[in-house]
């Protein structure tokens, strides 16, 4: 998920304590540098269908899933918000060695065990970085899943970078693109001008296609709460592709090993190539594809009329 600094959006009225209530639970996590706690929250009750939500970033928050509250309860779906270690409502240790894909996969497994989820009921749903993490978990622990949802995430960072280079960047105003790249080359991406350019020429077209001044409050808060200490080393400082430690990540050749019912969700205006995501669904032994023709990277907000009916139909089919 793309980032934006807290100062860009007005979150003065938001108190994080408002979210830590009613059904929330702090789950203990063991790491190579000690014990920490991650925040989770259960909504609904369904012994046969429990969806664990993996948020984007890395280092964003489960706030990006608050739109699910308008759809999942009425469909009888039990689901779990979960802020990964280092994210908004969880412990945020100053330990750079923890921001590692293998450790995050282990963390998801610890959360699964703590919440007593298993192959009889667990559906893992990840969006963006959360989709990457969900794929990685599914490759390693397919026997723990009842189903999988990969939302708005390609199975290859190099192919994502190629899509950004071949499709997204050529479609931009080239003077704007040159200015964005200059900020990145100079290491001055904290400049408000950089954020303004990205918002007008990238986010508004490919991340959330609602008028920027009318973005839903959960989107604003999620952007504001991204932890750059996690995001920048793993994703990289550029918003137009992957350049951090995840730059070479690729699980395209392992999709055939994920033999559980899997829904891949793509969107026409996404930062991720929707045709690649359709291809992913064809490589998965039990794969299905859901296309959001009016959506972008956050299709749950800008194309809910396609996103949620298709997602709910898949979940109920399990």
Beta carbons of 121 and 146 less than 8 angstroms apart: yes
pLDDT tens digits along 151-167:
999 999 999 999 999 99
SS3 of residue 260 by DSSP: coil
In this prediction, residue 23 carries a pLDDT of 84
C-alpha to C-alpha distance for 121 and 48, rounded to whole angstroms: 5
Cα–Cα nearest to 116, from 30, 44, 27, 19: 27
pLDDT, position 6: 29
How many whole angstroms separate alpha carbon 224 and alpha carbon 82? 17
Both tokens of residue 105?
Answer: 């996969």
Active centre residues (catalytic): 128, 270, 297
Cβ–Cβ < 8 Å for 153, 128? yes
CATH number of 6-160+244-317: 3.40.50.1820
By mean pLDDT, which of 35-39, 235-239, 303-307 is the weakest? 235-239
Q: What is the mean pLDDT of the chain?
A: 93
Nearest to 104 by CA among 117, 87, 122: 87
SS3 34: strand
The two three-digit tokens of residue 42, written as one number: 């259960």
Say if residues 136 and 251 touch (Cβ distance below 8 Å): yes
pLDDT of residue 212: 85
Q: Is the pTM of this model over 0.85?
A: yes
Where are any strands of DSSP class E within 69-143?
A: 78-83, 122-127
Query: CA-to-CA distance for 119 and 139, rounded, in angstroms?
Result: 14
In this model, does residue 295 exceed pLDDT 70? yes
Average of per-residue pLDDT across 306-317: 98
Residue 151's pLDDT is 98
pLDDT at 203 over 50: yes
68-81 pLDDT, tens digit per residue, is: 999 999 999 999 99
Q: Is the pLDDT of residue 9 over 50?
A: no
Does the N-terminal peptide bond of residue 145 adopt cis geometry, omega within 30 degrees of 0?
no
Beta strands 147-151; 262-267: pairing state: parallel
- The answer to whether the CB of 132 falls within 8 A of the CB of 113 is no
Structural domain boundaries in the chain: 6-160+244-317
The candidate with the shortest Cα–Cα distance to 314, out of 262, 242, 247, is 262
pLDDT of residue 1 exceeding 60, the answer is no
Q: What is the pLDDT of residue 190?
A: 87
Q: Hey, what are 218's tokens?
A: 């959960």
pLDDT of 10 reads 31
Lowest mean pLDDT among 22-26, 204-208, 250-254: 22-26
Q: What is the mean pLDDT of residues 235-262?
A: 96
């Amino acid at each position: 998920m793309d980032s934006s600094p807290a100062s860009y959006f007005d979150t003065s009225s938001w108190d994080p304590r408002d979210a830590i209530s009613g059904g929330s639970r702090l789950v203990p996590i063991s790491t190579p540098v000690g014990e920490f706690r991650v925040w989770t929250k259960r909504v609904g009750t369904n012994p046969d269908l429990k969806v664990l939500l993996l948020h984007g970033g890395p280092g964003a928050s489960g706030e990006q899933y608050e739109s699910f509250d308008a759809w999942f309860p009425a469909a009888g779906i039990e689901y779990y918000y979960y802020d990964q270690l280092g994210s908004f409502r969880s412990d945020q240790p100053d330990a750079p060695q923890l921001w590692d894909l293998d450790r995050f996969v282990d963390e998801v497994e610890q959360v699964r065990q703590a919440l007593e989820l298993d192959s009889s009921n667990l559906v893992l749903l990840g969006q963006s970085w959360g989709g990457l993490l969900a794929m990685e978990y599914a490759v390693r622990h397919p026997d723990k899943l009842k189903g999988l949802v990969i939302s708005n995430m390609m199975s290859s960072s190099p192919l994502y970078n190629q899509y950004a280079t071949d499709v997204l960047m050529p479609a931009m105003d080239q003077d704007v693109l040159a200015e964005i790249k200059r900020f990145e080359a100079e290491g001055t991406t904290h400049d408000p001008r950089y954020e303004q350019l990205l918002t007008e020429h990238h986010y508004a077209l490919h991340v959330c296609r609602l008028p920027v001044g009318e973005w839903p409050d959960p989107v604003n808060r999620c952007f504001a709460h991204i932890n750059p200490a996690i995001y920048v080393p793993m994703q990289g400082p550029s918003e137009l592709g992957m350049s951090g430690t995840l730059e070479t990540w690729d699980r395209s050749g392992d999709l055939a090993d994920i033999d559980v019912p899997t829904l891949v969700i793509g969107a026409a205006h996404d930062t991720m190539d929707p045709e690649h995501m359709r291809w992913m669904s064809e490589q998965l032994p039990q794969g299905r594809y859901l296309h959001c023709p009016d959506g972008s990277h956050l299709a749950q907000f800008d194309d809910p009329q396609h996103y949620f009916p298709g997602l709910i139909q898949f979940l109920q089919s399990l």
